[in-house]
Structure 1
Amino acid sequence: MIRSIVCGSLMLLALLSSGCATQGSYDYSALQASKPRSILVIPPMNNSVEINASNIYLSTLSRPLAEKGYYVFPVAVINQFLQENGLQSPADMHDVPLDKFAEHLNPDAILYIVIEDWGQKYEILSSTTVVKANMTLVDAKTGTTLWETRVSYAQGSGDNGGGLVGMLVQAVVDQVVGTMVDQTPTVARAANNIAINNPGQGLLNGPYRAQ
């Protein structure tokens, strides 16, 4: 039963992903002028109440950025390196001057993320897994904003067609499954996919993009 619920949730995720493109076109002039080849991802600042949100979200960022054609500094190694140099929280890491990153790591661009909301929200007859964050990519030498976007995604459960009794049963199942299977990494990956690949708003392809 758990497997079927998870599979159903993934199907819903795919359907929702197909209709979330943002209209309009981003001004890419700064990104095109900078032409970054490498991206240093700073561990996300976490403004949510979920204490593990930063580490979980950090683990979902390397793949979509690499698939867009950029070299991504190993996020776990960078996190450890920064902590070993006295920066114990993402807030401290976000305050590091750009010239320090240039001196020790020499990235072309730096990605800053601020998590605004994260986790599973339970109501009487439904549950929703939410990921909301802001991404800002800056030139590592000048601090110029190259690209920024808002990441927002919610995967919910609701009426399963079985009436009130069915909804109550489903609500109980959702809470049981939620304690066993953390859906936030899946939702975060979907959110990243939408934000990074959104036509006209997402990140432009990097130099290592597979043809």
Structure 2
Amino acid sequence: MKMTFFLTALKTGALLVCLAILGGCAAPKGYDYTAFLESKPASILVLPPVNQSPDVKASYSLYSQVTLPLSEAGYYVMPVGVVDETFKQNGLMNAEEVRQASPQKLREIFGADSVLYLDVTEYGSSYKIISSEVAVTASAKLVDLRNGKLLWEGTARASSAEQQQNNGGGLVGMLIVALVDQVVNTLSDRGHEIAGITSIRLLSSNTHNGILPGPRARPDAAR
């Protein structure tokens, strides 16, 4: 009797362990595109990114590069230079002020189907004793200007460390390489280059849980 109980408990425990392992290996959850598919936006108004990093260049560095991936995804993007100047002429001088504008007002002024809100949470170089890294992290939310519904949101990060390799040379060599990288990264503003990679990862239509292809997308861009 005791042996039967023991074997039953053992089988139950083994089953629970297997279920836990399978649960941990489950495929990543897909994004719910229900609202996006119902909205079918054709045009996007991109607002200046709100900069949450210490680098003052972050906002416009990313802002100047978001049109390309969105256009390639098949959307008409309101020219960011015109949009920025329009806000300034109306007394909205920074991204935080622009973000306070209501969807209804934005729709009235620009006539776009949707608006893209951007945040830069990490930008620039950092020195970490034996390594130097330039990284840019940004997040985005796409909102329907006709009804205020959230259509999509995502986050992406790119880093120069992805291409770095340790070629040996010991600790001293690693320190020298890190210091040289830090100087080069600062002088050349590699943050702008990395911001371009981040914008592509964030706003391309061919990434997992990314933005859906727009009406002008090439046939091979469809999921």
TM-score computed with the length of structure 2 as normaliser: 0.80
CA distance in 2 between counterparts of 1:159 and 1:137 reads 40
Offset at residue 158 of structure 1 (A): 6.1
| Cα pair distance change 1:30/1:138, threshold 3 Å | same
CA distance in 2 between counterparts of 1:23 and 1:190 reads 23
| Cα pair distance change 1:53/1:107, threshold 3 Å | same
Asked if the contact 2:139/2:202 (under 8 Å) is kept, the reply is no
- Give the aligned length: 190
Post-superposition Cα deviations, 1:43-92, rounded to whole Å, max 9, x if no partner, equal: 00111111111011101100000000000011121111101110011011
Matched, 1:138 2:143: yes
Larger Rg: 2
Q: Matches of residues 111-190 of structure 1 in structure 2 within 5 Å? A: 111-156=116-161, 157=164, 159-190=166-197
Which residue is equivalent to 1:60? 65
Offset at residue 208 of structure 1 (A): 0.7
Q: Matches of residues 1-211 of structure 1 in structure 2 within 5 Å? A: 23-156=28-161, 157=164, 159-197=166-204, 199-211=207-219
- Which structure 2 residue ranges, 5 or more long, are not aligned? 1-26
User: Percent identity of the aligned residues?
Assistant: 38
Asked if the contact 2:125/2:182 (under 8 Å) is kept, the reply is no
Deviates further, 164-173 or 48-57: 164-173
CA distance in 2 between counterparts of 1:125 and 1:97 reads 47
Secondary structure of the equivalent of 2:160?
strand
Asked if the contact 1:131/1:188 (under 8 Å) is kept, the reply is yes
More helix by share: 2
CA distance in 2 between counterparts of 1:188 and 1:179 reads 14
Offset at residue 199 of structure 1 (A): 3.7
CA distance in 1 between counterparts of 2:147 and 2:77 reads 19
CA distance in 1 between counterparts of 2:28 and 2:67 reads 26
Asked if the contact 1:136/1:147 (under 8 Å) is kept, the reply is yes
Which residue is equivalent to 2:5? none
Secondary structure of the equivalent of 2:203?
helix
Offset at residue 114 of structure 1 (A): 1.4
Asked if the contact 1:195/1:201 (under 8 Å) is kept, the reply is no
CA distance in 2 between counterparts of 1:200 and 1:123 reads 31
Which residue is equivalent to 1:19? none
Letter in 2 for 1:207: P
Post-superposition Cα deviations, 1:104-126, rounded to whole Å, max 9, x if no partner, equal: 11100100011112111112221
CA distance in 2 between counterparts of 1:121 and 1:129 reads 6
- Which structure 1 residue ranges, 5 or more long, are not aligned? 1-21
Offset at residue 177 of structure 1 (A): 1.0
| Cα pair distance change 1:138/1:55, threshold 3 Å | same
Which residue is equivalent to 2:21? none
Asked if the contact 1:45/1:114 (under 8 Å) is kept, the reply is yes
Post-superposition Cα deviations, 1:133-173, rounded to whole Å, max 9, x if no partner, equal: 22000001111000000122322246332222321221232
Offset at residue 30 of structure 1 (A): 0.6
Asked if the contact 1:24/1:200 (under 8 Å) is kept, the reply is no
CA distance in 1 between counterparts of 2:80 and 2:87 reads 11
Asked if the contact 1:57/1:188 (under 8 Å) is kept, the reply is yes
CA distance in 1 between counterparts of 2:58 and 2:171 reads 33
TM-score computed with the length of structure 1 as normaliser: 0.84
Which residue is equivalent to 1:17? none
